[in-house]
Structure 1
Amino acid sequence: MSPASRRVDSLIVGAIGLHGGMDNLELRAEADAVLAELVGAPGGSARLREDQWQAVAALVEQRRRALVVQRTGWGKSAVYFVATALLRRRGFGPTVIISPLLALMRNQVESASRAGIQARTINSANPEDWDTIHGEVERGETDVLLVSPERLNSVDFREQVLPKLATTTGLLVVDEAHCISDWGHDFRPDYRRLRAMLAELAPGVPVLATTATANARVTADVAEQLGTGAGEALVLRGPLERESLRLGVVRLPDAAHRLAWLAEHLDELPGSGIIYALTVAAAEEATAFLRQRGFKVDSYTGRTENADRLQAEADLQQNRVKALVATSALGMGFDKPDLGFVIHLGSPSSPIAYYQQVGRAGRGVEHADVLMLPGKEDEAIWRYFADAAFPPEAQVRQTLAALADAGRPLSVPALEAAVDLRRTRLETMLKVLDVDGAVRRVKGGWTSTGQPWVYDTERYAWVARQRAAEQEAMREYVSTSQCRMEFLRRQLDDEGAAPCGRCDNCTGAWIDSAVSSEALTGAAKELDRPGVEVEPRRMWPTGMPALGVDLKGRIPAGEQCSTGRALGRLSDIGWGNRLRPLLAENAPDGPVPDDVLKAAVAVLADWARSPGGWAPNVPDASARPVGIVAVPSLSRPQLVGSLAQGIASIGRLPYLGTLTYTGPDSGHAARRSNSAQRLKALSGNFTVSEDLAVSLAGSSGPVLLVDDYTDSGWTLAVAARLLRRAGSAQVLPMVLAAAG
């Protein structure tokens, strides 16, 4: 046994020794009665397990700070709801729960009401209720306030609401506490603000941090932060074995086989469940195909409207659908005890994240199936989304200098004009700097505090190495011959890890990997169907005049491009798999492949046949394009040129040539920049040649603008503006691939 394990055991034993008296027995009986109400069995035999009781007693009697690391389904929510009821009866303030899980919030508000606990939630989905809820909290009408961590980054909430909560709360709960630690797989800067709230809590206020997925290093980090200024935190860590789960991997040759397998075997899986996909596009593709095959499934992604999410959750709860096909937007917080299966259409990049997601299944049933269908595209998708690493020091210093020189708050769009970082990455960096004290969020944007700040090179490098190690672990998980549950438990430093005796490696595969030719043909047809819409840019980025580019506000209607088309998205599991190698940074240039050209022509034909034709909101736009113009490419001139000329030849359209590129040799092909920097790099670097201008002048129909790829959309916007100013009546973008 390790020293850490002995320490935890001694803490538990010590806690047991402190709770042996009659008063303690009465408190235990009261706690069990609350639990019975919570689970809907008033007067029944519901009883807290001994480990749950130890946590409740630590909070209510000892008023300690505790970290509970227990597997999904252990009953962490029961601990803090029972503790809340006991503390409220004794006159203490409301419980504040910090949780990133909107789905879980909704579940918990409902379950709390069964025990007479009035719970309310403040998150991005209910801003219209915030003022009312704040009033209820101040009047003592709310027992539990669930708050999303993003609220901690709101200036008004942080300055007006948070100080009051810190002084009046009776119990602080930090759910998914591994997010506090940047050593963990799911670090969220907003969580680091909890340090300030912990320091401001009134003396004796208990704190409970909970997670199902913390390895030894994350556990130590979180415990240290909890214990700051309040003595050593109690750590209660249990085994992570999930006796109900049967893990397996089904290795299939391609995406079509995987969709066909789903269609053939989904009905064989118990009950209803979740099918996780790595991208929004993959989730939508799988949903469309399964619906065609007669399955009742819903899509649940970051693009799903809130009302539709609520309906999808309710449909799964009531078993009205066989599955939700979801991205990580469904998160860890969906609480359905009888969830019968979890399937992964592609491998997540972290074994800890994978354990979290599979832990949704089998919480209230004896058996649940967990299957992974890894794909060849998985690692390409990992790389595509690997944009969360902390920026290099030079970019951080550039941001700090821009804020210091401004002398006033700067919004994120305004900062984009000074710092070449995509918006999401810039916002994350600012939150980290805010927590570190180097910047501060105020009304109107961000300001510099002037405080010295040190770039922690060693820590950021370690986190990057950790991410790489997690990806390697997932490769090993797919190919390992050892017990899969044991493998996952060891990744979380669970010292009791042992063979489960249930997974496919322990007992042999229990489900057939074969698919019929009919299902395979149907899946291939679905994935081979090309064509997605490409929305045009309609507003210029903020701050362009500061960069010497005189563009601002709305792009005039007479200078915009129309909604365009792409063959597919790079994140697709269909055409994305074909396009990613073709458009990779190190891919050789060459003529467009015949199958890609043929698909592009099919997209154009479908586009022309769509309601309203080429541009449904533009008069006379249903007419054929009068010609084709290519965007000049420094990296793939043969690909783009042959694509444009091939479309012209097959479609019997005039090929009018390319725009002229007059910029530097480094080119306009830089990707993953923010909008302001991207537009700056493009502005003034294209011209319309005299011959092209003559061809465009007086043309009454639209021009087809051809390029290989669109990410930000600014190349198409700049090119379209030039063409329309030169006389084109309409510009219709056609690209091979779109991002996202």
Structure 2
Amino acid sequence: MANNQYASTVSTADAGAGGPDTPGTATHAEALDVLRGLVGNPGAVFHDGQFEAIEALVDGGRRALVVQRTGWGKSAVYFVASLLLRRRGAGPTLIVSPLLALMRDQVGAAARAGVRAVAINSANQLEWDTVREQLATDEVDVLLVSPERLTNPAFRETQLPELLRRTGLLVIDEAHCISDWGHDFRPDYRRIADLITRLPDSVPVLATTATANSRVVHDIEEQLGAGVLTIRGSLGRDSLRLGVLSLPDSKARLGWLLTHLADLPGSGIIYTLTVSAAEDTARLLSEAGHNVLAYTGRTDPADRERAEQLLKDNQVKALVATSALGMGFDKPDLGFVVHLGAPSSPVAYYQQVGRAGRGAANADVLLLPGSEDRYIWQYFATASMPSEEKAAAVLTALADAGTALSTVALEARVDLRRTPLELLLKVLSVDGAVERVGGGWRSTGQPWVYDAERYSRIAEARVDEQDSMVIYQDTAGCRMEYITSVLDDETARPCGRCDNCAGRWFPVDVAAGATEAAGQTLSRAGGVLEPRLQWPSGMDRLGVPVKGKLKPGEGVSEGRVLARLTDLGWGGALRELFAAGAEDRPVDPGMLQACVQVLREWGSGDNRNPGWSGAGRPAAIVNIPSRSKPLLVGSLARGISEIGRIPYLGELQLAHGGPTGSRGGNSAYRLAGVWDRLLVGPELEAALQPVQGQSVMLIDDLTDSRWTVTVAGRALRQGGAGAVLPLVLAQAG
């Protein structure tokens, strides 16, 4: 990469040959001694580029960006530099680190090297007072904080100024998070540019990442300021053996895992694109006798930490994980990484496969792409992109309020779900338009303009990344060379090890019994549809006279759903059924039979889960009218009625034009859009008379927020139903 006004660049291919890494200087000798203590090896030497970075920080007080492959030793740079700076009288190092798993590993690694490291994050609040006392008595060498701490008003106003005054070194770990173009952009990270401007010029700054192309590198350099030293090395991983195996469907992919998981070297990670896929896969493999655990964003934090340790100790064969297990997980001898479905970019893929082979000569990496991958990429891409309309609505709501509003209060004013709302607030906060205070969020009054061109460029870049991932799957060239080329590694070269360079190293057969077992798992239908128990806050602002908990006699019972749209099994058929422009048609016989099986299992129950959710066998069936799939939902209701010999009473009546709003809105607006728009009409009211006080099954085609089912069930209960048992074909998400 050429030098620019922001940075000078060192290629580590040239390092160590008569440069500052040459032994003999006092700093080098001191740093080498610290390094050997860090790694526990008296014969250890610096990798190319490590000492250049350390010297730039310690002796030069510079700002540096280190872009090096996973396992190169970026943490060694900042731990060694921290100890050397402390010996020279500097204050503690402040490390901004994105993940709790990463913090745990870093604190442990620091302790082994005699570095006194502590962390402040959401998982250790009981330790915060102790940490503050240690900082006050200068007993801390390294303090790790999450980027989210930087937005916390109390931390920002009472603790951060003193920290910045005393900081001897600022480290931005996983620095690609700073950049709009990074695969894991986080708005909170953009506050770091403000931190840098508040530091004295004499305080060195280090940014590190393993996943940055030239565009991300330039973006980070600009945010670090003038005079940045960029040390960029080869991203090729000689220990990894890459491969791609395209199989026809989910059944075949799971069958391959059942057939060959035990043959994969050591222990490893099986990545999936969705939570439901991780849970389904882990269940299938466990039932077949494989020692695996699911690891997702829904996994309890304590269970996550336990699962990580079991994998590190080789007590499990694999963790079946979503991207929740990503940056920062460090197991040097991880033997393999398998992907069931492709990540949305080669950059994200490189980040995840980089977990393997960090301290071992060989590790196997295999991608099993799925036909559903693009659907899932698009779903997550559209869910995370802020819109001008929503941003303007948030700013207007805060300005009109004249006081701070919590996110809960904002949800009654802006039709955005909690996660994208919080993301948008962070973006607006970093841009200076809003600020987080004790009572929530308030407008700063500063003008703000939606940068449509910027978001358009980001969206286009995401599409390009998705296309690049497809090219990776189809390429006849070296796979490692392709990935590192996408990351703008000028040293990219054929690896000689991947399936395209050296021939397929993995078996392609799938045992017949494994295919059948996978098929049985995928054909399993039925998930719990949890009832809504609490009305959203602030409904009076939207003209809906409810608040607090649903009253007895208003809510529906626990229901059932055939599958989620993201499920590996029935999810595929349901995605086709509900795809934009898909023809409305009667329910497929196989899908009807799957629903019947769900009902059989639901009705049988056990000691822990009484049949029919304890409400008793339904005496009648009613369906919610569908404007897009009337044939589908009507035929489903009638089919279940015929097979189950349960009278079909008809459907609810649409009022005021029917439900409004669209999929993806927040709870308050979704409820307002369906309130009083589903009624028990005269014919249905008469049909309900013979079953007064008895259970009624309520059938719908697709649910997202569950408010349509809730309001429809409330209408039925007001019409005399004793309990309402929802059965839905598909659940979004």
The reply to whether TM is greater than 0.5 is: yes
The 3 A distance-change label for structure 1 pair 15 and 135 is farther
The 3 A distance-change label for structure 1 pair 370 and 495 is same
What residue in structure 2 maps to residue 682 of structure 1?
Answer: 674
- Pairwise CA RMSD: 2.1
Counterpart code for 2:527: V
DSSP 3-state at the match of 1:703: strand
Q: Does 1:67 align with 2:62?
A: no
Q: Does 1:35 align with 2:46?
A: no
CA distance in 2 between partners of 1:546 and 1:299 (Å): 41
Alignment of 1:32-431 (within 5 A): 32-41=32-41, 44-227=42-225, 231-431=226-426
What residue in structure 2 maps to residue 721 of structure 1?
Answer: 714
Deviation at 1:632, TM superposition (A): 1.0
- The counterpart of 1:653, out of the listed 642, 646, 656, is 646
Return 365-374 or 655-664, whichever deviates more.
Answer: 655-664
Counterpart code for 1:193: R
Instruction: Please list the CA deviations of residues 337-363 of structure 1 after superposition, one character each: whole Å capped at 9, or x if unmatched.
Output: 111111001000011000000011011
Contact 1:296 1:322 in 2 (8 A): yes
Deviation >6 Å, runs of 4+: 10-18
CA distance in 2 between partners of 1:493 and 1:409 (Å): 45
The 3 A distance-change label for structure 1 pair 543 and 17 is farther
CA distance in 2 between partners of 1:325 and 1:10 (Å): 37
CA distance in 2 between partners of 1:495 and 1:10 (Å): 10
The 3 A distance-change label for structure 1 pair 448 and 263 is same
Counterpart code for 2:425: L
What residue in structure 2 maps to residue 734 of structure 1?
Answer: 727
Return 57-66 or 155-164, whichever deviates more.
Answer: 155-164
CA distance in 2 between partners of 1:407 and 1:142 (Å): 42
Counterpart code for 1:261: W
CA distance in 2 between partners of 1:55 and 1:181 (Å): 22
Deviation at 1:3, TM superposition (A): 5.2
Q: Does 1:693 align with 2:688?
A: no
Instruction: Please list the CA deviations of residues 635-677 of structure 1 after superposition, one character each: whole Å capped at 9, or x if unmatched.
Output: 1111111111111110000111111111326x44721111111
Equivalences, count: 731
Counterpart code for 2:535: W
Deviation at 1:203, TM superposition (A): 3.2
Instruction: Please list the CA deviations of residues 549-586 of structure 1 after superposition, one character each: whole Å capped at 9, or x if unmatched.
Output: 11111111321111111111111111111211011232
Contact 1:716 1:733 in 2 (8 A): yes
CA distance in 1 between partners of 2:592 and 2:378 (Å): 27
Contact 2:21 2:52 in 1 (8 A): no
Counterpart code for 1:181: S
What residue in structure 1 maps to residue 564 of structure 2?
Answer: 569
- The counterpart of 1:479, out of the listed 474, 483, 487, is 474
What residue in structure 1 maps to residue 631 of structure 2?
Answer: 638
Contact 2:8 2:227 in 1 (8 A): no
Contact 1:269 1:341 in 2 (8 A): yes
Return 694-703 or 479-488, whichever deviates more.
Answer: 694-703
Contact 2:15 2:21 in 1 (8 A): no
Return 378-387 or 215-224, whichever deviates more.
Answer: 378-387
What residue in structure 1 maps to residue 10 of structure 2?
Answer: 9
Deviation at 1:111, TM superposition (A): 1.2
Return 128-137 or 152-161, whichever deviates more.
Answer: 128-137
Alignment of 1:582-621 (within 5 A): 582-611=577-606, 621=614
CA distance in 2 between partners of 1:491 and 1:20 (Å): 30
The 3 A distance-change label for structure 1 pair 549 and 15 is farther
Q: What runs of 5+ residues in structure 1 fail to find an aligned partner? A: none
CA distance in 2 between partners of 1:388 and 1:40 (Å): 46
Instruction: Please list the CA deviations of residues 311-350 of structure 1 after superposition, one character each: whole Å capped at 9, or x if unmatched.
Output: 1111110111111110000112110111111100100001
Deviation at 1:49, TM superposition (A): 2.2
Counterpart code for 2:514: A
CA distance in 2 between partners of 1:206 and 1:2 (Å): 23
CA distance in 2 between partners of 1:86 and 1:217 (Å): 33
The 3 A distance-change label for structure 1 pair 263 and 21 is closer
Deviation at 1:622, TM superposition (A): 5.1
DSSP 3-state at the match of 2:446: coil
The 3 A distance-change label for structure 1 pair 48 and 21 is closer
Instruction: Please list the CA deviations of residues 345-395 of structure 1 after superposition, one character each: whole Å capped at 9, or x if unmatched.
Output: 100001100000001101111111100000111111112222345433232
So what's the TM-score if we normalise by structure 2? 0.96
Deviation at 1:14, TM superposition (A): 11
Identity within the alignment, %: 56
Deviation at 1:130, TM superposition (A): 2.1
